[in-house]
Amino acid sequence: MTNITDKGLAAASEVDGSLTDILSVAITIARGAGAILREGVVTIAANRGAALQFKTSEIDPVTEYDVRSEKYIVGELNKYFPEHRIVGEEGGAYEVVKSRTSTAAYQWHIDPLDGTVNFAHGFSIFCVSMGLLIDGVPSVGVVYSPIIDEMFAAARGHGATRNGAPIRVSPIATLKRSLLITGFPYDSHTSDSNVPEFLGFQRTAQATRRIGSAALDMCYVAAGQMDGYWESKIKPHDIAAGIVLIREAGGAVTDYEGGDTMLTSGRIVGSNGLLHNAMLDVLKKSQL
């Protein structure tokens, strides 16, 4: 297994398109975007109470730093991979700048700031998330948490790392010993999304957590600090990177039925593998 390290950016002409090369470039770009957020959170925290902009409703904020981070990432990706397609949370789909043979098969799903509510409150749990699908298969994932300075990275077939050191999912084999993590969608004022499921796990796991960043939730499962994660109404930009990380760390990722529709159905379960069936069972029962 190749160890993935942060090699820094090679010149665009030197990037040969192997997964580890793509990963190295993505790591450096995520670090650059993280620096934008690290600087931004200080300003945002100092101005708490100032007017924020909102997307779907007043509980769904977006800051200028979400947009700045995305512009930076898209600009950099276009430099290195001009033929890749990029779908960013804030900008929708960007044009494929050049098209060569089958390269539209390469699609980045970018969350330039995952954990915006935390960020807007000056709470340190937020990240940059970049996932690459190749022919629809999650193949490269990078998640950078700029305040904690943790870089999670994985490429299909090459393992998963945190700050360059290999990571592995936990060995916890029973739900009642497990620490689980989840998130709630932005419709929580008008719907009970995930409430029955949360209750189901509160009654079966050792404990459940909600910290406000789906991409980091998944990294913590990959790193063996959490044992399982579930969420619904989630988007490809939230989970594309995390899927690669959990799988490469030896875990399992499926939809609520054990299938592979996470990116289209928006329902996802990621676990250390040992707990997977038990988690699917709780989800099934809580939706009756």
Question: CB under 5 A: which stretch of 103-111, 135-143, 175-183, 255-263 binds Ca ion?
Answer: 103-111
Exposure b/e, 31-63, CB count within 10 A at least 16 = b: bbbbebbeebbeebeeeeeeebeeeeeeeebbb
Question: CB under 5 A: which stretch of 162-170, 193-201, 232-240, 269-277 binds Ca ion?
Answer: 232-240
Residue 185 binding: pick among Ca ion, ligand IPD, none (C-beta 5-8 Å cut-off by kind): ligand IPD
Residue 227 binding: pick among Ca ion, ligand IPD, none (C-beta 5-8 Å cut-off by kind): none
**Rounded Cα gap, residues 64 and 53, in angstroms:** 9
Our CB check for ligand IPD shows the closer of 106 and 229 to be 229
Our CB check for ligand IPD shows the closer of 19 and 180 to be 180
Distance of closest approach, residue 215 Cβ to ligand IPD, in angstroms = 6
**Rounded Cα gap, residues 107 and 137, in angstroms:** 10
CB closest to ligand IPD, residue no? 183
Copy the structure tokens of residue 80.
Answer: 């290195």
Taking CB under 5 A as the criterion, the residue among 24, 65, 88, 111 binding Ca ion is 111
- The answer to whether residue 114 forms part of the interface with Ca ion (CB under 5 A) is yes
- The answer to whether residue 238 forms part of the interface with Ca ion (CB under 5 A) is yes
**Rounded Cα gap, residues 230 and 124, in angstroms:** 22
- The answer to whether residue 115 forms part of the interface with ligand IPD (CB under 6 A) is yes
**Rounded Cα gap, residues 155 and 210, in angstroms:** 27
Copy the structure tokens of residue 187.
Answer: 């419709």
Question: CB under 6 A: which stretch of 73-81, 153-161, 212-220, 245-253 binds ligand IPD?
Answer: 212-220
Q: Classify 78 as helix, strand or coil.
A: helix
Bridge partners of 253, per DSSP, are 270
Sheet arrangement for strand 252-254: 207-209, 179-182, 228-231, 268-271, 252-254
Residue 213 binding: pick among Ca ion, ligand IPD, none (C-beta 5-8 Å cut-off by kind): ligand IPD
Exposure b/e, 214-245, CB count within 10 A at least 16 = b: bbbbbbbbbbbebbbbbbbbbebbbbbbbbbb
- The answer to whether residue 106 forms part of the interface with ligand IPD (CB under 6 A) is no
Residue 236 binding: pick among ligand IPD, Ca ion, none (C-beta 5-8 Å cut-off by kind): none
- The answer to whether residue 114 forms part of the interface with ligand IPD (CB under 6 A) is yes
Copy the structure tokens of residue 39.
Answer: 């600087």
DSSP string, 124-150: S--EEEEEEEETTEEEEEEEEETTTTE
Distance of closest approach, residue 55 Cβ to ligand IPD, in angstroms = 8
- The answer to whether residue 236 forms part of the interface with ligand IPD (CB under 6 A) is no
- The answer to whether residue 90 forms part of the interface with ligand IPD (CB under 6 A) is no
Taking CB under 6 A as the criterion, the residue among 70, 76, 90, 111 binding ligand IPD is 111
Cβ-proximal residues to 243 (8 Å cutoff; 6+ apart), any chain: 131, 138, 141, 218, 253, 262, 268, 270
Interaction site with ligand IPD (CB under 6 A)? 111, 114-116, 183-185, 212-214, 231, 234, 238
* Binding stretches for Ca ion (CB under 5 A): 89, 111, 113-114, 238
